């Protein structure tokens, strides 16, 4: 049973004119060791208050790489939903939807009604901006308007594209920052729409573009997301980008090792605008994280978790959790879109290889019965550019594991993922959830209300290589990431986490 609207009836929850306030008891476990070396495990409870603003802003979303496959596909998809555009294919009439979006197409359990399980849309748990109300804009190093960019991407059915052209042909990306040293040389033919000047001048121009967009579109809030080309890794060096002060000074000196993505992020932080990195490069060098924390501006990343890595974060969690020992993971990909073309350069592929390779670390570390100290499965990632397959990325994986009494188990998977159609809903979720979390404040008992840490751990579910604050455990297991997000939002309306004990039916 699906329930679109509900209200929590609890003395701990108050629905006000502008806020939902929840008094919440957080159950946790404290682990310690006494003087004799004995481990002591103690259940504890802490009192928290959550306050969520229910006033929805007019939201502007600016995409870096708006004219790429992901940006044009997301814009087209939202417009198709907004205008109710249908289209014919050889398989029949198609309706627009948001399949693949956690916020728009997933549900969560509320409880049980007369023996029947009751669910609600994820978007119904807390007030959330509607996708159709978002105002899109952004930058691209290519001057193609969004209609031409959609055609170039070759992602959507032609009959749908034809109907969307009138809605998209007037949408033209702003000039973007281009540095050929950070992406593949094969991207130079697209770069006809670029911001000139020193790095300091480029940052100031991006800041002005954000202000102008906000003013002209009359939006209350802007979120910026990088969905442009994967960059090579930046060198992290003392005196260059290790602190906020050094990073800003490096920009003023026009140091060549400051990447375009980092320049966009600095511009956003100076404007108080959240910045999300959807690519695998190390945009968030230590000085940039330091700067975001100083200014208390949301940053999140890295790299969209859409196909092969999402499967890996589920399968390895299952295997290790079942007491099965993965000993090697080999992941092969080939794709033919512009992302694949850019990744054909070794320096940009290395960024992707790093983000894909670390995804199993926390799962391996969780089971020292299977893995000795320092032991880790062999893990190899290969990506090849094959133009003929276009946006339909092929992902082939082989998981070899050790099982009972020296036996072996091999799981082979062949996954064909339409790359941009998987990524676009993730972009939508990232901006909607970033906006929602900015409206939530909380406090522990006897302390002052405050927002979440600027490094947005709650968005980890959508990232291959989750960015976390220093000292925070990195969680890659998909089920745990979703539970963290869902249970935090449940706390905002006074609902307990789902424990799946079902004691009422025992």
pLDDT in tens, 448-482: 999 999 999 999 999 998 999 988 988 999 999 99
Question: Using an 8 Å Cβ cutoff, are 434 and 266 in contact?
Answer: no
Residue 330 tokens read as 């080999």
Neighbours of 258 (CB within 10 A): 27
Peptide bond into 302 cis (omega under 30): yes
What lies within 8 Å, CB to CB, of 430 at 6+ separation is 225, 276, 278, 300, 459, 462
Distance of CA 337 to the CA centre of its chain: 21
pTM score, two decimals? 0.93
Residue 209 tokens read as 């573009």
Per DSSP, the three-state class of 44 is strand
Based on its alpha-carbon atoms, the radius of gyration of the chain, rounded to whole angstroms, reads 23
The Cα–Cα gap between 105 and 425 comes to 10
Question: Using an 8 Å Cβ cutoff, are 303 and 280 in contact?
Answer: yes
Cα-based torsion angle of the residue sequence 41, 43, 46, 50 in order, rounded to the nearest 10 degrees: 110
Per DSSP, the three-state class of 76 is helix
Distance of CA 132 to the CA centre of its chain: 20
Q: What are phi and psi of 406, to 5 degrees?
A: 80, 10
Q: What are phi and psi of 449, to 5 degrees?
A: -65, 145
Instruction: Specify the residue for token string 């409870």.
Output: 45
pLDDT in tens, the chain (506 residues): 999 999 999 999 999 999 999 999 999 999 999 999 999 999 999 999 999 999 999 999 999 999 999 999 999 999 999 999 999 999 999 999 999 999 999 999 999 999 899 999 999 999 999 999 999 999 999 999 999 999 999 999 999 999 999 999 999 999 999 999 998 888 888 999 999 999 999 999 999 999 999 999 999 999 999 999 999 999 999 999 999 999 999 999 999 999 999 999 999 999 999 999 999 999 999 999 999 999 999 999 888 988 788 888 899 999 999 999 999 999 998 888 777 777 666 766 676 666 556 788 888 989 999 999 989 999 998 888 888 888 788 889 999 999 999 999 999 999 888 889 999 999 999 999 999 999 999 999 889 999 999 999 999 999 998 999 988 988 999 999 999 999 999 999 999 999 888 887 77
Question: Using an 8 Å Cβ cutoff, are 145 and 128 in contact?
Answer: no
Cα-based torsion angle of the residue sequence 210, 295, 467, 262 in order, rounded to the nearest 10 degrees: 50
What lies within 8 Å, CB to CB, of 237 at 6+ separation is 257
What lies within 8 Å, CB to CB, of 492 at 6+ separation is 20, 22, 50, 52, 125, 126, 440
Task: Report the DSSP beta bridge partners of residue 275.
Answer: 224, 299
Of 447, 360, 437, 433, nearest to 397 by C-alpha is: 360
The Cα–Cα gap between 45 and 42 comes to 10
pLDDT in tens, 91-143: 999 999 999 999 999 999 999 999 899 999 999 999 999 999 999 999 999 99
Residue 151 tokens read as 């055609």
Cα-based torsion angle of the residue sequence 122, 309, 384, 424 in order, rounded to the nearest 10 degrees: 10
Residue 340 tokens read as 């694949």
The Cα–Cα gap between 190 and 187 comes to 6
Residues carrying an active site annotation: 303, 352, 393, 464
Question: Using an 8 Å Cβ cutoff, are 391 and 337 in contact?
Answer: yes
The Cα–Cα gap between 303 and 354 comes to 11
């Amino acid at each position: 049973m699906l329930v679109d609207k509900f209200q929590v009836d609890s003395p701990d929850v108050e629905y006000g004119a502008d806020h939902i306030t929840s008094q919440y008891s957080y159950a946790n476990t404290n682990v310690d060791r006494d003087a004799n070396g004995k481990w002591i495990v103690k259940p504890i409870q802490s009192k928290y208050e959550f306050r969520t603003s229910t006033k929805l802003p007019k939201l502007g979303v600016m995409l870096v790489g708006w004219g790429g496959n992901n940006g044009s596909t997301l814009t087209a998809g939202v417009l198709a939903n907004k205008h109710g555009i249908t289209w014919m294919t050889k398989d029949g009439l198609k309706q627009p939807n948001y399949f693949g979006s956690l916020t728009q197409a997933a549900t969560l359990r509320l409880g049980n009604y007369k023996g029947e399980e009751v669910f609600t849309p994820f978007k119904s748990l807390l007030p959330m901006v509607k996708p159709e109300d978002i105002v899109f804009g952004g930058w691209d190093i290519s001057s193609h308007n969004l209609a031409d960019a959609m055609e170039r991407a070759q992602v959507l059915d032609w009959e749908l594209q034809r109907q969307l052209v009138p809605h998209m042909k007037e949408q033209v990306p702003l000039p973007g920052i281009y540095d050929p040293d950070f992406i593949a040389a094969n991207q130079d033919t697209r770069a006809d729409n670029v911001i000139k000047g020193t790095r300091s001048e480029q940052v100031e121009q991006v800041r002005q573009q954000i202000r102008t967009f906000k003013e002209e579109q009359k939006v209350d809030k802007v979120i910026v997301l990088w969905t442009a080309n994967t960059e090579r890794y930046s060198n992290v060096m003392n005196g260059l980008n290790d602190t906020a002060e050094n990073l800003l000074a490096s920009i003023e000196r026009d140091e060549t090792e400051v990447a375009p993505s980092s320049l966009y992020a600095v511009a956003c932080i100076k404007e108080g605008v959240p910045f999300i990195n959807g690519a695998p490069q190390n945009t968030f060098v230590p000085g940039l994280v330091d700067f975001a924390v100083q200014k208390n501006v949301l940053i999140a990343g890295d790299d969209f978790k859409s196909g092969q890595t999402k499967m890996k974060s589920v399968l390895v969690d299952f295997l290790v959790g079942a007491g099965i020992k993965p000993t090697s993971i080999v992941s092969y990909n080939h794709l033919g879109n512009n992302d694949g073309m850019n990744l054909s350069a070794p320096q940009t592929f290395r960024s992707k290889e790093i983000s894909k390779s670390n995804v199993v670390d926390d799962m391996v570390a969780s089971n020292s019965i299977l893995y000795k100290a320092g032991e880790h499965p062999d893990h190899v990632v290969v990506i090849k550019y094959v133009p003929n397959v276009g946006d339909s990325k092929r992902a082939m994986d082989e998981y070899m594991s050790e099982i009972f009494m020296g036996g072996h188990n091999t799981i082979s998977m062949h996954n064909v993922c339409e790359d941009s159609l998987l990524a676009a809903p993730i972009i939508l979720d990232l901006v909607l959830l970033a906006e929602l979390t900015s409206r939530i404040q909380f406090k522990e008992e006897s302390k002052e209300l405050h927002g979440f840490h600027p490094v947005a751990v709650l968005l980890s579910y959508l990232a291959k290589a989750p960015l976390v604050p220093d000292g925070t455990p990195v969680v890659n297991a998909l089920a745990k990431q979703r539970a963290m997000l869902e249970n935090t939002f449940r706390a905002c309306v006074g609902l307990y986490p789902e424990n799946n004990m079902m004691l009422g039916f025992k």
